[in-house]
Amino acid sequence: MSRNKLAILVLGALLIGHANLQAAETPETEQPKEQGSVVPFGSEDLTTAENLDEGGAISQADLSGVRSELATLRDQLTQRLDKTIANSKRSLSISGSTQTRYAASTSPGKSGFLFNSAILSLKGFLKKDYEEGKSFSYTLGLGSNASYNLQPTDAYLQYSIGQSLDIGQPYLYVNIGQQKKQFGLEATTTEDKQPAINTAQFASKLGLSSRDIGIRLYGDLVPIVDLGYNYRIPLIEYSLGLYNGSGTNAPDTNRNKDIEGRIAINAPVGYYSPWRGLTLGSSFYRGQQDLLKGTTLITNGDGEAIKSRYGADLSYVSAPLGFTAEYVLGRDEKALTGTTLANSTKKITTSRGYTVTFFYEWGEQFYKNSRSQSRNDDWWPTTFQPFIRYDHWDPDTLLANNETAVTTVGFNFFFAETTKFQLNYSISDDKATPLKQNSFAAQFQFGF
């Protein structure tokens, strides 16, 4: 609501209340006022000379006219607000992003436009603690991918176990519901913040990029604070989660739960340090899955196969230079022979993948002092970001010539808030085929 509308409503309410009070009072005699006495607001005698305007005393008809005009104005404003403002019982923040892509490849030789994804996110507080910040909030996301199916993405409740108002103290939260797995860098990054158009191969091959339903405890320790720049970086960040292990929007298929953990150490430096943005992280994920022979489920094999993931990552994100490096090792139990658990022969398949990304950026998109500048029009600082990425995936380390390597050269153009244009040219070398493929993709992503 604008300040002018709010001022008119408040003024109207005061005038109506004041007019009702005076119209109800019909004093028969005027009581003498003691010198120096305080007259309560609303008890002034409007019939005295000092309260008369040039037109004489205020009549009952005048007061009725004021009431009628204010009531009409109130109804008009209420009607306009009801039509233009969405209402909710609790605080609500709406955001989202959409990705539209054009892709072309040499093998197979095809090209075309693609609606990649659309995400709508709703966030708010169910209970807000203004004293210690132990608030209870919610997040609900709805997303549609290239298959044009609208499904829930993030859907969880969050509670701040510790205080969250003092930036000099550690934070501690708990999330319950469907959420992103906190494994490494690639799988953790949301769709709207990924540097390359396509995610790393290991993130999808090992099931790390999919969301899952469960509970997660996370927080930080030993925060480094620079109040002059509103800068806060914790020395240690940690996360521990317990999930179904069945993937997005799926119930648990067995009685076992998957456990996940991550710890990251940030450089304990101030805002102007050249080491600001340096992070070393380590992650693990362990659970059980269906026992498979190729793609065929072994009879009564639900939850009888072991799966584990181990990862390490190193990142340095500080304008204008930056890089990210991540290594992941996967171990999955599979069946070689047999049709049941009793007669099946099992083995552990070890897979691995890693990515290295270098980027350079120039512009003012990520500088707070530039974004906070006051402008008369819809201005936002622009930034240009060229990058190169190498993505390697080996599905079975015991087999030779089955790796796939993808080299991507890209350019990101940030020209508005939450809006960017991406260009990617990739060279893929699949030694198992053997097949070399060149592909080009251009993607426009906007948010609100």
**10-residue block means of pLDDT along the chain (448 residues)?**
50 50 44 45 45 61 85 88 81 87 80 82 91 92 79 93 91 96 88 82 91 95 88 95 90 87 94 90 93 78 86 90 94 85 85 95 69 60 90 94 94 85 93 85 89
Query: Do 336 and 250 share a domain, yes or no?
Result: yes
DSSP state of 150: E
Place of tokens 């807000």: 128
Query: Do 344 and 418 share a domain, yes or no?
Result: yes
Give the pair of three-digit tokens for residue 9. 């409503």
Query: Do 5 and 126 share a domain, yes or no?
Result: no
Residue 241, pLDDT score: 96
Residue 319, pLDDT score: 75
Residue 366, pLDDT score: 63
Query: Do 98 and 232 share a domain, yes or no?
Result: yes
Q: Find out whether 37 and 88 touch, Cβ atoms under 8 Å.
A: no
Query: Do 2 and 109 share a domain, yes or no?
Result: no
What CA–CA distance (Å, rounded) separates 431 from 34?
Answer: 103
* Total count of domains within the chain: 2
Residue 372, pLDDT score: 56
Query: Do 68 and 134 share a domain, yes or no?
Result: no
- The answer to whether position 357 is within a domain reads yes
Query: Do 6 and 115 share a domain, yes or no?
Result: no
Query: Do 291 and 187 share a domain, yes or no?
Result: yes
Query: Do 135 and 230 share a domain, yes or no?
Result: yes
Query: Do 68 and 106 share a domain, yes or no?
Result: no
Residue 81, pLDDT score: 81
What CA–CA distance (Å, rounded) separates 7 from 318?
Answer: 46
Give the pair of three-digit tokens for residue 60. 């009952």
Give the pair of three-digit tokens for residue 290. 């269906």
- The answer to whether position 52 is within a domain reads no
From 55, 84, 113, the end of a domain falls on: 84
CATH number for position 185: 2.40.160.10
- The answer to whether position 58 is within a domain reads no
- The answer to whether position 76 is within a domain reads yes
What CA–CA distance (Å, rounded) separates 394 from 37?
Answer: 91
- pTM equals 0.77
Domain range for residue 79? 1-20+64-84
11: part of which helix (H) or strand (E)?
A: helix 3-24
61: left (phi over 0), alpha (psi -120 to 50) or beta: alpha
- The answer to whether position 207 is within a domain reads yes
- The answer to whether position 34 is within a domain reads no
Cis peptide leading into residue 170 (ω within 30°): no
Query: Do 320 and 415 share a domain, yes or no?
Result: yes
Query: Side chain identity at 100, as an amino acid letter?
Result: T
- The answer to whether position 53 is within a domain reads no
- The answer to whether position 362 is within a domain reads yes
Query: Do 106 and 70 share a domain, yes or no?
Result: no
* Residue 82: HSE in the Cβ half-sphere, 13 Å Cα cutoff: 6
